Amino acid sequence: GAVVSQHPSRVICKSGTSVKIECRSLDFQATTMFWYRQFPKQSLMLMATSNEGSKATYEQGVEKDKFLINHASLTLSTLTVTSAHPEDSSFYICSASSLHRQDQETQYFGPGTRLLVL
Amino acid sequence: GDSVTQMEGPVTLSEEAFLTINCTYTATGYPSLFWYVQYPGEGLQLLLKATKADDKGSNKGFEATYRKETTSFHLEKGSVQVSDSAVYFCALSKTQGGSEKLVFGKGTKLTVNP
């Protein structure tokens, strides 16, 4: 299998606070992890790509100081939304792929984290 | 740039009806193509994929064939069930900056009524 988990599944926070979301690959080593944002009734927007042990690569228009990504190990990546505001409310989804797997180009997705900023 | 265009939904069908969700793509080179499914309240799950022209991906009764000449990867199922109700995303993969990145279509919501 290729299972990816996210924690928390749902979080509500006050405006101005920071929120950390964890993404874990449970049964494989993820050489690359991706973070997406999904707006209601819209597609997934890639925010950033991270390889284990190196800095994340952000997509154009995504503020790297706002969305801090850390990929410290082959099974864990974190996304921290700093000084969150209501416009940051969204569904955040991570995915993982592995160069060690035969299907190395396939991304396996976590169940997502619903963030609501009040 | 690379892009994926899906038929707009929502699509509503009766149980046992035939399903087609159209997907076309624009890409340089030869991308791999995917269909992902998102059930209500859940993350995306890989449904099927095809990595080269004329390949057919299949899973759970769903099929899609990689057609290079028409740059298409239409999703089909002969007899849908209520449990197939979900949002379906077509995607292609491209290599950028050393990583394989997915480009998604906007998704097509399918509702199957009993």
Please enumerate in sequence order all residues whose Cβ is within 8 A of that of A77, keeping only pairs 6 or more positions apart, or say none: A22, A23, A30, A33, A35, A50, A69, A70, A71, A94, A96
Contacts of B104 in chain A (CB under 8 A): 43-44
Q: Which tokens hold the place of B63?
A: 């099929």
Please enumerate in sequence order all residues whose Cβ is within 8 A of that of A102, keeping only pairs 6 or more positions apart, or say none: none
Shortest distance, CA B80 to any CA of chain A (angstroms): 22
Confidence of residue B98 (pLDDT cuts 50, 70, 90): low
Interchain CB distance below 8 Å, A43 and B45 = no
The answer to whether residue B93 neighbours chain A at the CB level (below 8 Å) is yes
Cβ atoms within 10 A of the Cβ of B79, count? 11
Q: How buried is residue B83: exposed, middle or buried, by Cβ count under 10 Å (0-12/13-18/19+)?
A: exposed
Interchain CB distance below 8 Å, A107 and B100 = yes
Indicate if the pLDDT at residue A103 is higher than 80. Answer: no
Q: What is the mean pLDDT of residues A39-54?
A: 85
The DSSP 8-state label assigned to residue A111 in this structure reads -
pLDDT in tens, A65-94: 999 999 888 899 999 999 999 999 999 999
pLDDT in tens, B27-54: 988 899 999 999 987 888 999 999 999 9
Shortest distance, CA A75 to any CA of chain B (angstroms): 17
Interchain CB distance below 8 Å, A43 and B105 = yes
What pLDDT is attached to residue B69?
A: 94
The answer to whether residue A110 neighbours chain B at the CB level (below 8 Å) is yes
Confidence of residue B92 (pLDDT cuts 50, 70, 90): very high
DSSP states of chain B: --EEEE----EEEETT--EEE-EEEE-SS--EEEEEEE-TTS-EEEEEEE-STT-EEEETTEEEE-BTTTTB--EEESS--GGG-EEEEEEEEEEETTEEEEEE---EEEEEE-
User: In terms of pLDDT, which residue wins out, B97 or B56?
Assistant: B56
- Using CB atoms, which residue from A49, A106, A111 is nearest to B43? A111
What pLDDT is attached to residue A110?
A: 93
Cβ atoms within 10 A of the Cβ of A63, count? 10
Interchain CB distance below 8 Å, B100 and A95 = no
Tell me if B91 sits within 8 A of B44, measured CB to CB. no
The answer to whether residue A75 neighbours chain B at the CB level (below 8 Å) is no
Shortest distance, CA B100 to any CA of chain A (angstroms): 6
Indicate if the pLDDT at residue A100 is higher than 80. Answer: no
Contacts of A57 in chain B (CB under 8 A): 97, 99
What are the angstrom distances between the C-alpha of A83 and each of A16, A66, A68, A77, B62?
Answer: 4, 7, 11, 20, 44
Indicate if the pLDDT at residue A57 is higher than 70. Answer: yes
The answer to whether residue A5 neighbours chain B at the CB level (below 8 Å) is no
Tell me if the bond preceding B31 is cis, omega within 30° of 0. Answer: no
In the block, residue with structure tokens 């963030």: A115
Shortest distance, CA B108 to any CA of chain A (angstroms): 9
- Cα angle B75-A109-A58, degrees, rounded to a multiple of 5: 110
Distance CA B81, CA B84 (A): 5
Q: What is the mean pLDDT of residues A34-42?
A: 86
Tell me if the bond preceding B40 is cis, omega within 30° of 0. Answer: no
